[in-house]
Structure 1
Amino acid sequence: MRRELHAEWTKFRTAPGTGRLLLAVVALTAALGAAAAATVSCRTAGCDYDVPKLSLMGVQAGQAVVVILAVLAISGEYGTGMIRTTLAAMPRRASVLAAKAVVLTGVTLAAGTLAVLGSVLAGRLILPGNGFTPGNGFAPLSLADGPTLRAAAGSVLYLALVALLSLGVAVAVRDSATSIGVVFGLLYVLSVLPVMVSDPGWQVLLWRISPMNAGLAVQATTHLSVLPLSPWAGLGVLAAWAGAALLGGGLLLRLRDA
C-alpha cells in the first residue's frame, strides 16, 4: 500500500491545476460565508438565526470545487490513457483506489479545515457589526462552543465525504463531464426535490435521502428537534452515499478493462 500511496500522492500534487482548485475551495467557501454574514442583520433581541450555520453557508458552493477536484483525480487518467500504465505498474486495483481515496481525503480535509476556519473567523468579525451581539442574545462565534465546534468539524467531514462520493462516481462513469454532472445532480437537484412535492411524508423522505440536505444537517445548532434527521445521523446518510459510490466504482474497476 505504501507504493500505491506514494504514486498517487506524486500524481496528485504534480497534476496541473490541483493547487488552484485547492485554493479555490478555501477562497470560495470563506468568501461566500463572509458574504452571507454581511447580508443579514439583527438590530433587536430575539432574532432567530442559526449563526454558525449562517457563517458556514459557503460550504454549499465550495463543495462544487471539491467535486471537480475529486473527479479529475481519476477521470483525467482515463482521458489520457494513463490509467493503463497505473494498473500495469500496480495491478492491485483495490489498493490503487484506496490510495486515491486516502490522498484525496487528506488534501480535502486540509483545504476544508482552512476554508471552515476562514468562514468562522469571517463570521466572528462581521456579525457583531450587524447586530449579532451579546446584548441581542448572540455570543461571538467561537470553536470553544460545543455546537459551533460540531458544525465546523462536521462541515470539514462533509467536504471530505463529498470528495469520496465524487471519486466513486468518477471511477464508475470514467468521463469527467458526465461524472461532474451526476454528482451535481445528486447534491443540488436532489436537495430541491422536497420543496417540489406537496405530500409531507414524501418531503421528509426525500430530505432524509438527499446527500446534501442530510449531510449539511451537521451544521445546525438550533431547532434540532424539528430536523428530519439529527446532525450526525444526517452526515451518516452522506457517508452511506459515499461508501456505496466507492463500492460500486471499485467493483466496476475490478471487472472492466482499463
Structure 2
Amino acid sequence: MPGRGAMTGASTRSGTGDPVRSLRTAWTGFRRARGRVAATAAGALAVVLLGLASAAGSHTSCSAGAVEVACPALPVGPGGEAVEDKFFFVHRALTGDGGITARVTSLTGVIRKPDAVPGVRNVVAGVVPWAKAGVMVKESIEQGSSYAAVMVTGAHGVRMQHDFTHDVAGRPGGVSEGSPRWLRLVRSGDTLIGYESADGAHWSEVGTARLPGLQATVEIGLFAASPGDLTVTPGALGGSASRFSEATAAFDRVTLEGGTAGGEWREDDVGVTGEPGGSPHHPGRTSESGGAFSVTGNGDIAPSTGGQTLERTLVGLPAGLIAVIVVAVMSATAEHRYGLGRTAPPARPRRGRVPAAGAAVVAAVAFAAGLAATAVTLTAGSRILRANGNQVLPVSWLTEVRVVVGTAALFAVAAVLSFALGVLFRRGTGAIPAAVALIVLPHLLATVSVLPDSAAQWLLRVTPAAGFAIQQSIPQYAHVLGHYAPSAGFYPLAPWAGLGVLTAWAAVALLGCGWLLRRRDV
C-alpha cells in the first residue's frame, strides 16, 4: 500500500498542469481499484435483477364468469398514447363540411359512494368535476379514433377538447334552465372550430382543432360521459379510490348543417363493457321528445394514466444509486488518503484539477453503468410485464430514450454530488450517510406513502431526490382528474427540471470543494 500511494501521488504531481493527463491518471486509478469496479457492476446488476424480479411477479388477468382471460388491449389515440374512450353518443353521419348547434339546459348525475350500511347501495345525486356533455365530431365510433368536441363540464365551465390530450378553456360557470349554454361545432375540411353562446345570438370562439387526415364522412352528434368519482385518503399511508358515476345532459334546439339530410339518429354506447351474461355493464341511454334529447353516459374521453408504466420496472434504482454513492465517495476519500491533489506550491492555482478529474471519471463510469442497466431493465422488464397480462402504457420512442439516457444522467450527477461530499467530509463514514440521506432517502419516504402528499411533493422539489423525476414517462394532464402524487408515480417537477435540481446541488457541492481546497492551501 505505501508503494502504491507514492506512485499515485507522483503521477498526480507530474500531471496536475495537464487536464488530459489528470483524467488518464484518475481513470487508471479507478480501474485498478477492483473493489470500486466490482461495486459499480453490482449496482448495475441490482437494478436489472430487482427490476426483472418485480416484473416477473406482476400478473394481471380479467374474468369472464368463472374463467380468467387476458384483459382487452387499451385503446390508443391518434398520438399513440393509451386513452379512455367511453361515452354515450347520439349521432348521424356527416359527409363533407357541416356543423351542429345545440342548447344544453341542465347537467345532472349520480355518484356511487361507500356504503353506509353493508349491502345497501349508497347512490347520491351529484356531478363529478370532469363530467362532460356537448357536441362532437368523431371520425368513427371506434375507440381511440380522432375527434373534436365542445362541452359543458361539472366544475370547469365550457371546454373544447380534441384527440384526448388537447384542452382549451371557454367561459367558466355551470349550466341550468335559467342559465343555459349554447354550443356549436363547425367542420371545414380537417379544421373544426368550437363556439359557445349564452343566448344563441352572440357567439364567441372557444378554440380550433386540426385533425390531419380526417376522412370525408364522420359522425356528428351529442354525447355525455362521466369519469369515476376520485376519493383520496389524506395523511400517511393514504390512497385513492375511484367510484362509479354517470351524468345526464338535457339538449334542445338541436340543428345540423351540411351533408346529414335524411339521416336517422343512431345511438352507440362507445366502449361499454359486458357482464358475464352478455348484458352491458353500466349502460348509457337516451330519450327524445319533440326535438329535445336527454343523454346519459359514464366513462371518460381522455388520456389514460392508469395501468403499468415503463418506469415501474426500475424498482432497483435506489439500490443501484447507493452503490454509485459508495463508489464515488470511496474514490474521493482515496484521493485524500493517498495525497492526490497535493502539489508543489507553484501548481496550487490548479490544485482542483485532480479532484475534478476524479469526479469526471466516476460520473462517466456511473453514466455507462446506469445506461446499460436501465436499457436492459426497461426492454426486458416491459416484455415480461406484457407476457404476464399487464397493460403497459405506451409511450413514444423519444420518451423511452429520455427515460434511459436521463436515468443514466441521474446516476452520473449523483456520483458527482457524492464525490464532492467525499472531498468535503474526507471520510466515507460521514460522506456516504450524508449522500444517501440527501439523494435516496427522500425518494423512498415520498414514494412509499409514509408521508402526506404535500410533504412528499415538497421533498421532491427541493432535495437532490428531485432528479428521480427524469424517469416519469406519463405526464400529468390538467383536464384529467387523478391522484398525481409520488406514491402513484407522479413527480411535482417536470423530468428535466427535476434533474436540474439535482445538478444544482452537485454544482454547489463542487463549488464548496473548490473553496475548501483553496482554504487548505492558505
Q: Mark yes or no: TM-score above 0.5.
A: yes
2:492 paired with 1:237: no
Asked whether the equivalents of residues 97 and 250 of structure 1 are also in contact (C-alpha less than 8 Å), the reply is no
How many corresponding residue pairs?
247
CA distance in 2, matches of 1:150, 1:188: 21
1:24 pairs with one of 42, 45, 66 = 42
CA distance in 1, matches of 2:361, 2:471: 25
Corresponding position of 2:168: none
Asked whether the equivalents of residues 23 and 357 of structure 2 are also in contact (C-alpha less than 8 Å), the reply is yes
Corresponding position of 1:75: 333
Corresponding position of 1:204: 457
1:88 pairs with one of 343, 351, 356 = 343
Q: 1:162 to 1:199 in 2, by over 3 A?
A: closer
Corresponding position of 2:470: 218
Asked whether the equivalents of residues 75 and 175 of structure 1 are also in contact (C-alpha less than 8 Å), the reply is yes
2:306 paired with 1:48: yes
Q: Which amino acid in structure 2 is aligned with residue 32 of structure 1?
A: L
How much does 1:27 deviate? 0.7
CA distance in 2, matches of 1:199, 1:58: 23
Q: 1:50 to 1:216 in 2, by over 3 A?
A: farther
Corresponding position of 1:57: 315
CA distance in 1, matches of 2:40, 2:419: 16
Asked whether the equivalents of residues 191 and 210 of structure 1 are also in contact (C-alpha less than 8 Å), the reply is no
Corresponding position of 2:33: 15
Q: 1:94 to 1:218 in 2, by over 3 A?
A: same
Rg larger in 1 or in 2?
2
CA distance in 2, matches of 1:138, 1:188: 26
Structure 2 residue runs without a partner (length 5+): 1-18, 62-70, 75-304, 478-483, 485-490
Q: Which amino acid in structure 1 is aligned with residue 415 of structure 2?
A: A
2:519 paired with 1:255: yes
Higher RCO (Cα < 8 Å, 6 or more apart): 1
2:363 paired with 1:111: no
Residue deviations 1:128-169 (CA, integer Å, cap 9, x gap): 22113xxx5655x8xx72222211111111010110110111
How much does 1:103 deviate? 1.2
Q: 1:232 to 1:146 in 2, by over 3 A?
A: same
2:387 paired with 1:129: yes
Asked whether the equivalents of residues 50 and 221 of structure 1 are also in contact (C-alpha less than 8 Å), the reply is no
Q: Which amino acid in structure 2 is aligned with residue 33 of structure 1?
A: G
Q: What secondary structure sits across from 1:87 in the alignment?
A: coil
Q: Which amino acid in structure 1 is aligned with residue 40 of structure 2?
A: L
Task: Choose between structure 1 and 2: higher helix proportion.
Answer: 1
Q: Which amino acid in structure 1 is aligned with residue 502 of structure 2?
A: L
Residue deviations 1:173-223 (CA, integer Å, cap 9, x gap): 0101210011111123333565666583x55333211222x1111111124
CA distance in 1, matches of 2:393, 2:459: 33
1:159 pairs with one of 408, 411, 415 = 411
CA distance in 1, matches of 2:309, 2:457: 24
CA distance in 1, matches of 2:444, 2:50: 20
Please say which of residues 164-173 and 31-40 is displaced more in the overlay: 31-40
Q: Which amino acid in structure 1 is aligned with residue 500 of structure 2?
A: G
CA distance in 1, matches of 2:314, 2:459: 23
Q: Which amino acid in structure 1 is aligned with residue 429 of structure 2?
A: A
Please say which of residues 29-38 and 164-173 is displaced more in the overlay: 29-38
